[in-house]
Structure 1
Amino acid sequence: MTIQAMQKTPPAIPGTYVRMLFDYLEGQGCAAEAVLGEPAPAADAGGLSYSVGRWQTLLERAAQHLDDPALGLRVGATISPAHLGALGYVLLASSGVPAALERYVRYQRLVHDVSPVGYRLDGNALVLEWSAESRGVGLLVNQCGMAALVQFARDITGSGVTPLAVHFVEPQPADMAPYAALFRCPLVFAADATRIDFAVSLLSLPLRQPDPALVAMLESQVQHRLASLPQKDDLAQLVRRHIASSLIQGEPLLDQIAGELNMSGRTLRRKLEQGGNTFRMLLDETRLQMAQGYLRDKRLALPEVALLLGYSEQSAFNRAFLRWSGDTPSSWRRKMFIGLAITER
């Protein structure tokens, strides 16, 4: 089983992820903005992105200031769902580790695009392997990414899961102690690929209770968008509500929604047609209304809006929104804020 990397886009890292470094420095008693030479991204900075070079430079400044060549490990180990922005919502909404892992691989390049990771089964091992791009981002960036993934796996399962092995493409460091303390498994350096091997049993672990704050935020957003949807007959409105609640897990299908309503897909299709509707029509209308609501929220970057609407690629969302509204999402958002500014004068 292999998940292929998605189509290349310019590497970018969300402000929510970069904030992890600022938070770590503050926790060490440092004035993070003075050390790094720039202001911290806001806690809800989903619309702010950093180039991989800029992220590498920030990590290097912090490592030099603290004289800590393993800084990336320590920063990555502090990850929380909030540091992944909207992707954190998606993972917390998953039914289990397999669903969370597949969604992470599917959506990662929308919100955290440095070196994409794929996974495969290799005997009794679940292998997570980063692309060849990991060779050019630097040890600190790879430290942070790999530590964050292992720590997130531990947090989301509520277990002390330990990898079978961790592989770095960089040469072996002089001090192995920080690596051993975090990963607690065999370590390979100067490896052919950046990868982490877990026991296949990881896939059968249950997920812990979702983060209440993130879930409440997501539910609040969905309910707010639902309230703005135009009212139709009872069945159509019920379908729209099920569509809206399901979008975070990907594009909902007619049979899926029909099952939630305790009827067959054929029956649901027939009843919708009797009311002058089709499932595709309701799906598009719901997505448009929710998209416009999300676009009014400056905290959400366009890739995050696409993710929350069930798209795995922003380009697909852009094309759909253009078809619905005659405008691109970025242009619609810009015009909306210009109009709002004029109104407020």
Structure 2
Amino acid sequence: MATPSPTTIHDVYYSSTYVRLLFDYLSLQGLDAQQVLGEARPADADRGLGRYAGRHWRQMLERAAAALQDPLLGLHLGQQIRTAHLGVLGYVLHACRDVGAALLRWQQYDRLIAHVAQMDVRVEPHTVTIEWRNAPESMGALVDETALTALVQFARNITVGAPQIEAVRFPHPRPADVTPYEAYFGCPVLFDQPLPGVRFAADLLQQPLRQPDDALLDLMEQQARTLLAQLPAGDELEREVRQAITRQLQSGEPSLEPIATAMHITPRTLHRRLSDRGLQFRQLCDDTRRQLAENHLRDPRLSLAEVAWLLGYSEHSAFTRAFRRWTGVSPQQWRSGSG
């Protein structure tokens, strides 16, 4: 199987079916999900082709965790995963005969659910290790904990017996209390690891699933291949808008209207197309500025005032405030490496 090319920041996304998990969970907690998250639930009719940028998904989880006052949201949310939250892929996995067959299909069709990092499966004589490599940036504890909990929970949902996990690894710092993690996963849970991942006994690959159905599997795989073909290899619209934002920064604050005019579409159409991808113009401006800021700060020939000017800030103080919001440190601290 060909090795996928490395994911870039611009390509990171989660599918709308997966994002619906958060809306469903908030409703179960008695909250108005739309009010908490500040946006409408993804339409059921999009079959999972709606995409949410990685940082957008992280921000949604952060808002939900704050509203629920639940630092363990990822652990709790992932346990509510259901077949429908994985869209067509969920039904493909559900119809497989054993864990090994399901794992193979997950590798084939994982882009239907998310495109964040390369899924690396290592099968050794006694163990299987799944790790996610080449992510362009860390998505954070909430995102990783939701994803790995959902993976383990879904395996438990569809497998005969209780599949045992030998180890779970997270790249974020160890929390003060790991008891809830070990109680759920039933194995050592390691933090501060190079990559997120899980390890389990190789015998689990032969463990049968609860509802194998060859006819349904064939039908669902046909749908999965069709949907996969409809996913663009990259997002030209996002790249075009980011390039236009970069050009506009040379003359001040970017705005959507002139970019839409240059693209020969109406501002309303551009707003809708970005929204369909789970993107917002203000977020793109902010993220583009942050990336440019880091690139400029690596160039020792540029003063901090010049970097601020190149990013369209009329005052150095405004740039410093924005950079602190992005990174938690000042531009000078970031440049010197003390941040």
**TM-score normalised to structure 2 length:** 0.61
Cα offset, 1:159, TM superposition: 2.7
2:302 paired residue number = none
d(CA) in 1 for partners of 2:140, 2:63: 13
2:115 paired residue number = 113
Q: Deviation per CA, 1:117-174, whole angstroms, max 9, x where unpaired?
A: 2211234111011113185111100001100110111111043222101111111012
Is the contact between residue 162 and residue 198 of structure 1 (CA under 8 Å) also seen in structure 2?
yes
Q: Deviation per CA, 1:167-197, whole angstroms, max 9, x where unpaired?
A: 1111101221321222110011111211100
d(CA) in 1 for partners of 2:45, 2:56: 19
Is the contact between residue 159 and residue 209 of structure 2 (CA under 8 Å) also seen in structure 1?
yes
Which of residues 56, 59, 62 is equivalent to 1:60? 62
2:146 paired residue number = 144
Is the contact between residue 172 and residue 190 of structure 1 (CA under 8 Å) also seen in structure 2?
yes
Structure 2 gaps of 5+ residues are 234-339
Is the contact between residue 165 and residue 196 of structure 1 (CA under 8 Å) also seen in structure 2?
yes
Which of residues 182, 185, 188 is equivalent to 1:183? 185
Q: What letter matches 1:148 in structure 2?
A: A
d(CA) in 2 for partners of 1:210, 1:66: 38
SS in 2 for 1:133: coil
Q: What letter matches 2:49 in structure 1?
A: G
Is the contact between residue 7 and residue 118 of structure 2 (CA under 8 Å) also seen in structure 1?
no
Is the contact between residue 98 and residue 208 of structure 2 (CA under 8 Å) also seen in structure 1?
yes
1:302 paired residue number = none
1:24 paired residue number = 25
Is the contact between residue 97 and residue 203 of structure 1 (CA under 8 Å) also seen in structure 2?
yes
Cα offset, 1:92, TM superposition: 2.3
Q: Deviation per CA, 1:75-102, whole angstroms, max 9, x where unpaired?
A: 1111111111111122123232111101
Q: 1:134 to 1:92 in 2, by over 3 A?
A: farther
Which of residues 128, 131, 138 is equivalent to 2:133? 131
d(CA) in 2 for partners of 1:106, 1:20: 22
Cα offset, 1:246, TM superposition: 3.9
Q: How many residue pairs get matched?
A: 230
Q: 1:157 to 1:50 in 2, by over 3 A?
A: same
d(CA) in 2 for partners of 1:44, 1:163: 35
Which of residues 94, 98, 102 is equivalent to 2:100? 98
d(CA) in 2 for partners of 1:314, 1:175: 41
Q: 1:109 to 1:14 in 2, by over 3 A?
A: same
Cα offset, 1:8, TM superposition: 4.0
2:37 paired residue number = 36
Q: Which moved more, 1:6-15 or 1:161-170?
A: 6-15
d(CA) in 1 for partners of 2:74, 2:128: 24
Is the contact between residue 135 and residue 169 of structure 1 (CA under 8 Å) also seen in structure 2?
no
Aligned ranges for residues 1-345 of structure 1 at < 5 Å?
4-5=3-4, 8=7, 10-45=11-46, 46-133=48-135, 136-209=138-211, 246=218, 248-249=220-221, 307-309=224-226, 314=231
Q: What letter matches 2:73 in structure 1?
A: L
SS in 2 for 1:87: helix
Aligned CA-pair RMSD: 2.8
Q: 1:64 to 1:311 in 2, by over 3 A?
A: closer
Cα offset, 1:249, TM superposition: 4.1
d(CA) in 2 for partners of 1:138, 1:110: 21
Is the contact between residue 56 and residue 140 of structure 1 (CA under 8 Å) also seen in structure 2?
yes
d(CA) in 1 for partners of 2:135, 2:78: 19
Name the % identity.
41
